[in-house]
């Protein structure tokens, strides 16, 4: 990042643009401030403490966006590393939209749900019995459910919001399920089925699937194929195979592109579209 000094006159001109409502001006100003590095942050921090409350509010907004720019770059580096871990990846995606996300607090919440499950599991317990306990804790005691009312709200994809609202998409609730199962040492896999993400277990004689969007409903392979067929998609057993962490995180980003577009937030849609391209490039490099 290139740092450069600006004159007092240029600084006044820059500050006068902070409240400009034009998206084009805002985008250009963000580029300038980001290219200024620490100098840009110093100007904004000083403005944020100004007695002019309106100026301070706009400066805070730009500071928040600049933090998001840095976190977006961290996410890019994570994707390019091809060293994927589901919990870390979901946290990093969420931090792009929520820079002040408290990772420690989120980990504590996940640990708490897992601890409650451990209290209820009577050993020895089959995989299905352990999943039934996860269902009880997440969907009955905690009250997590699919957000059918506001399905296209981008917030459905972020771990901090899902934990707070107790609502989410099929994929976000599925990833939550996977993170709890992982803490229990339970082998559960993400299933990137067309139109509706679920989780699956292949530890017993016959594999079974769970739909966290439907309060943890148990499904057979036959049920899954019928669901796919009802969506006018030719059923294929490959749709029921475990997905990779790469595929799971990429699908979260794909949802965000669509949902931010639907919400009229083009800059965020473009950002996550760029992340999708990063996932594609990373995949092609490992072939």
pLDDT for 1 equals 41
Q: Does residue 71 share a domain with residue 31? A: yes
Position 232 confidence tier, pLDDT thresholds 50, 70, 90: confident
- Domain count of the fold of the chain: 2
Last residue of a domain, which of 47, 81, 115?
A: 81
Q: Does residue 73 share a domain with residue 192? A: no
Rounded distance between C-alpha atoms, residue 171 and residue 111, angstroms: 20
Q: Does residue 156 share a domain with residue 27? A: no
Q: Please, what is the Cα angle at 158 between 155 and 163, to 5 degrees?
A: 95
**Which pLDDT tens digit goes with each residue over 207-218?**
999 999 999 999
Q: Does residue 66 share a domain with residue 182? A: no
Q: Does residue 98 share a domain with residue 235? A: yes
Q: Does residue 77 share a domain with residue 214? A: no
Backbone angles phi, psi at 196, to 5 degrees: -155, 110
pLDDT for 54 equals 86
Last residue of a domain, which of 81, 97, 121?
A: 81
Q: Does residue 131 share a domain with residue 238? A: yes
- Torsion angle of C-alpha atoms 154, 157, 160, 164, degrees rounded to 10: 80
Average pLDDT for the chain: 91
Give the residue, 1 or 232, on which the prediction is more confident.
Answer: 232
User: For the chain, how many residues are written?
Assistant: 287
**Which pLDDT tens digit goes with each residue over 31-81?**
888 777 667 777 888 888 888 888 888 888 888 777 766 788 889 999 999
Alpha helix (H) residue ranges in 38-169: 38-48, 53-81, 86-97, 103-120, 127-135, 159-165
Rounded distance between C-alpha atoms, residue 96 and residue 263, angstroms: 17
Whether the pLDDT of residue 252 is over 90: the answer is: yes
Q: Does residue 95 share a domain with residue 221? A: yes
Q: Does residue 136 share a domain with residue 30? A: no
Find residue 168's DSSP bridge partners: 146
Does any domain span residue 273? yes
Position 5 confidence tier, pLDDT thresholds 50, 70, 90: low
**Which pLDDT tens digit goes with each residue over 267-276?**
899 999 999 9
First vs last Cα of the chain: how many Å apart? 32
Q: Are β-strands 189-191 and 208-211 bridged in parallel, bridged antiparallel, or unpaired? A: unpaired
pLDDT for 246 equals 97
Give the residue, 37 or 126, on which the prediction is more confident.
Answer: 126
Whether the pLDDT of residue 2 is over 50: the answer is: no
Q: Does residue 115 share a domain with residue 216? A: yes
Whether the pLDDT of residue 90 is over 50: the answer is: yes
Residue labelled with tokens 């993170």: 179
**Which pLDDT tens digit goes with each residue over 151-185?**
999 999 999 999 999 999 999 999 999 999 999 99
pLDDT for 231 equals 85
- Cβ of 65: how many Cβ atoms within 10 Å? 17
CB 153 within 8 A of CB 147: yes
Rounded distance between C-alpha atoms, residue 38 and residue 60, angstroms: 15
Average pLDDT for 231-239: 87
For 196, the domain range is: 86-286
Q: Does residue 248 share a domain with residue 129? A: yes
Residue labelled with tokens 């601890």: 115
Radius of gyration for the alpha carbons in the chain, expressed in angstroms and rounded: 22
pLDDT for 38 equals 65
């Amino acid at each position: 990042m290139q740092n450069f000094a600006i004159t007092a006159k240029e600084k006044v001109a820059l500050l006068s643009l902070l409240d400009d409502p034009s998206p084009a001006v805002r985008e250009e100003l963000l580029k300038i401030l980001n290219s200024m590095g620490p100098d840009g942050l110093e100007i904004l921090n000083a403005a944020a403490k100004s007695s002019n409350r309106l100026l301070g509010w706009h400066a805070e907004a730009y500071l928040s966006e600049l933090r998001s720019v840095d976190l977006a770059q961290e996410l890019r580096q994570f994707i390019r590393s091809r060293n994927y871990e589901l919990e870390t990846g979901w946290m990093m995606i969420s931090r792009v939209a929520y820079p002040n996300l408290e990772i420690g607090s989120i980990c504590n919440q996940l640990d708490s749900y897992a601890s409650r499950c451990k209290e209820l599991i009577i050993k020895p317990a089959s995989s299905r019995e352990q999943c039934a306990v996860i269902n009880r804790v997440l969907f009955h005691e905690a009250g997590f459910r699919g957000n059918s009312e506001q399905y296209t709200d981008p917030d459905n994809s972020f771990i901090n919001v899902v934990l707070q609202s107790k609502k989410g998409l099929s994929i976000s609730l599925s990833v939550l399920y996977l993170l709890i199962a992982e803490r229990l040492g339970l082998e559960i896999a993400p299933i990137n089925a067309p139109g509706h993400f679920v989780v699956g277990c292949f530890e017993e004689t016959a594999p079974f699937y769970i739909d966290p969007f439907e309060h943890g409903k148990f499904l057979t392979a036959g049920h899954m194929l019928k669901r796919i067929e009802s969506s006018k998609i030719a059923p294929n057993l490959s749709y029921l195979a475990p997905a990779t962490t790469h595929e799971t995180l990429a699908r979260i980003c794909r949802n965000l592109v669509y949902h931010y577009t639907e919400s009229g937030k083009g800059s965020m849609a473009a950002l996550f579209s760029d992340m999708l391209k990063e996932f594609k490039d990373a995949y092609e490099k490992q072939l």
